[in-house]
Amino acid sequence: MPLTLLEYAPTSQNQRVANFEVPGDEQPRVFTTDNLLSASEMDMLIQAAYRQIFHEQQMLASNRQVALESQLKSGQITVKDFIRGLATSDSFRRLNYDVNNNYRFVELCVQRVLGRAVYSEREKIAWSIVLATKGLNGFITELVNTDEYNSNFGENTVPYQRRRILPQRVNGDLPFERMARYGKDYRDKLPRPSNQWLVSSGRADGLFRQGERFDFQAFIDRANWPVVAGLLLVLFLLIVFGLSISAAAVSPVA
């Protein structure tokens, strides 16, 4: 029997504040197919969908879903189906799902699909259970079929970050694009430039680990002093050679 979604309570966020202000330039632009669109307007809507789901850092030609674009332009699928297709594509899986744990991936998807930040750790856990039990495709389908998605975006509107700016506040929330694609746990697994020839202990990350405080005794113990001495000797010889050339150039000719 499939598990039901764990209950969680909404918390105070900008998008839950009643909207009484007059729309202005600071409000997000809404892309929708509720009205008939020209070819150029449809292209802009598709670009907005890519920007929302992939963000600009991942908007590469290799990540385009040409078949989905064609179906959307011909009216075979809705914008909601297009969003679901982008979020379940191999490119999105490779760039976002494969490099994150379930909790962080849920946080990314709630931002990009529902247009808001997660309410709490409990919501993050609730959707992580759905992701673990139903897989990526089932999780995205559940997300776009929520009442929240349907009431805010429906079948024909591209999701966007809701109520990022409030008129009463000097500063708005940061755009979701500022959030890194993967977390610290994956970053620490990435290969680093090798400085092993400078380090006697064989470290791949230099004399000190990331976040480790500088300690003079550790510096003395870990440095590869034969290599350092050789570099200093070469530097000294270059300086002497340069000074000798300079002296010869300024000496009077007999």
**Interatomic CA distance for residues 113 and 79, integer angstroms:** 12
Q: What's the rounded mean pLDDT across residues 84-104?
A: 92
From residue 105, alpha-carbon distances to 46, 113, 116, 232, 251 in Å are 23, 12, 14, 49, 71
Same domain, 237 and 147: no
At residue 61, the pLDDT reads 83
Same domain, 94 and 174: yes
Q: Which runs of consecutive H residues, i.e. helices, occur in the chain? A: 39-54, 66-73, 79-87, 90-92, 102-109, 121-144, 147-152, 184-187, 216-222, 225-250
Same domain, 215 and 176: no
At residue 197, the pLDDT reads 47
Same domain, 33 and 111: yes
In a domain, 5, yes or no: no
Give the tens place of pLDDT for each residue, 30-60. 899 988 789 999 999 999 999 999 987 777 8
Q: Which pTM value belongs to this model?
A: 0.64
Give the tens place of pLDDT for each residue, 193-250. 555 544 444 444 566 666 677 787 877 887 778 888 888 899 999 998 888 888 877 7
Q: Domain residues for 181?
A: 14-187
Same domain, 92 and 142: yes
Give the tens place of pLDDT for each residue, 147-192. 999 999 999 999 998 866 555 555 556 666 666 666 666 666 666 6
Q: Could you give the number of structural domains in the chain?
A: 2
**Interatomic CA distance for residues 132 and 110, integer angstroms:** 16
